[in-house]
Amino acid sequence: QVQLVESGGGLVQPGGSLRLSCVVSGFTLNTYNMAWFRQAPGKEREGVSCISSIDEITDYTDSVKGRFTISKDNARNTVYLQMNSLGPEDAAVYYCAASYGSYCSGPVPWEFDYWGQGTQVTVSS
């Protein structure tokens, strides 16, 4: 059974940092591309970043380039999203997602098959 469980969200002040984690089970990270999405109230789900399964090539949406870093630890079955210089525009529920394959870009929601339950990120002083 495939499961994705996110953690690490919370309340942070503007300019602060958080690291999100996504622990997966039921598959191995070297066969699935992994991504982080986010959804703020009243907005569509937005692709934030993805990392390819084998070569670990990464991609980011423009608004987080230089501030967010996606990474993974295959041995721990865990994907991370390090978020720095957070601003109010980053506040959202963040979701981890998986898609079978060896290349990802964007990412876009309809390409991903499995999703976690989400973790809330709030940016406020």
pLDDT tens digits, residue range 26-81? Answer: 999 999 999 999 999 999 999 999 999 999 999 999 999 999 999 999 999 999 99
> What span, in angstroms and rounded, lies between the C-alpha atoms of 123 and 29?
30
Q: Nearest CA to 6 among 121, 91, 118, 93?
A: 118
Residue 79 burial class via C-beta count within 10 angstroms: exposed 0-12, middle 13-18, buried 19 and up: buried
* Mean of per-residue pLDDT scores for the chain: 96
In whole angstroms, how far apart are CA 86 and each of 1, 30, 44, 79, 91?
A: 34, 30, 20, 19, 8
